[in-house]
């Protein structure tokens, strides 16, 4: 794992701009936009869920971007993963690092949300956002072994996000997003269904990983 981190740190130092662009977008453009949205909802008495919908539509895509940046360091010339330098444990740890990195990015939005909206609503929606990010990361983990190449896995996840956010948001089966209604109204059913799916996804990923040992 030490070698993996050194390789990523080296890439960050020499390609700062591609790692900083999403952070700058979030802090300089998206955060002021969300602050404006929150103020408008409070002033007009609008539905706070509209505010949280933007989280579901934005942060999963940013996570896909960072998954690509981090894992492209372990690709050969044919965009296939160099399995011998990234085993199952290291891949999982790297995904956890990416999720922790997102927690840092989300801190300003945690503060903003709790200032403007009801505590229980904010807590449920932000916990759900992190569940969505973990769900998609687990899906990436599984697919990267099913298709060997992380590029193919990320392409499928990107398609998944596009279909269930933009085209078919009303379908609940296999859809971890909930664009049409707040999570507070469907907590038990939502989490039970997707935790089962998550266990199956992780199990398939572990089983597939054994083929590369």
Which segments of the chain have a pLDDT < 70?
A: 1-5, 7, 73-89, 148, 169, 172, 185, 209-213
Q: Which two tokens stand for residue 31?
A: 């955060």
Tell if the pTM clears 0.75, that is, is over it: yes
Using one digit for the tens of pLDDT, what is the confidence trace for 64-120?
888 888 877 666 554 455 444 456 667 777 888 888 888 898 999 999 999 999 998
Mean pLDDT of the chain: 82
CA 205 from centroid of its chain's CA atoms: 18
Q: Which among 145, 133, 131 has a CA at the least distance from the CA of 194? A: 131
Q: What is the DSSP letter of 183?
A: G
Distance, in Å, from the CA atom of 1 to the CA atom of 20, rounded to the nearest integer, reads 24
Distance, in Å, from the CA atom of 56 to the CA atom of 104, rounded to the nearest integer, reads 17
Predicted local confidence at residue 114, as pLDDT: 94
List the domain range (segments joined by +) for residue 21: 2-212
Domains in the chain, number: 1
Q: Where are the alpha helices (DSSP H) in 72-149?
A: 88-116, 119-146
């Amino acid at each position: 794992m030490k070698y993996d981190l050194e390789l990523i740190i080296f890439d960050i130092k020499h390609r700062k701009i591609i790692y900083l662009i999403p952070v700058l977008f979030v802090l300089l453009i998206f955060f002021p936009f969300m602050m404006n949205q929150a103020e408008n909802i409070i002033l007009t008495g609008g539905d706070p869920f509209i505010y949280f919908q933007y989280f579901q539509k934005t942060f999963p895509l940013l996570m896909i971007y960072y998954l690509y940046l981090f894992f492209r360091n372990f690709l050969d010339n044919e965009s296939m993963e160099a399995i011998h330098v990234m085993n199952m444990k290291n891949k999982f740890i790297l995904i956890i690092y990416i999720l922790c990195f997102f927690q840092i990015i989300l801190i300003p939005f945690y503060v903003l949300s709790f200032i403007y909206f009801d505590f229980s609503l904010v807590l449920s929606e932000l916990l759900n956002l992190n569940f969505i990010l973990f769900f998609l990361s687990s899906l990436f983990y599984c697919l990267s072994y099913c298709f060997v190449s992380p590029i193919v896995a990320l392409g499928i996840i990107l398609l998944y996000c596009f279909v269930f956010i933009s085209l078919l948001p009303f379908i609940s089966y296999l859809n971890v997003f909930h664009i049409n209604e707040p999570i507070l109204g469907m907590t038990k059913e939502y989490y039970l269904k997707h935790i089962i799916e998550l266990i199956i996804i992780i199990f398939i990923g572990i089983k597939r990983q054994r083929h590369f040992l």
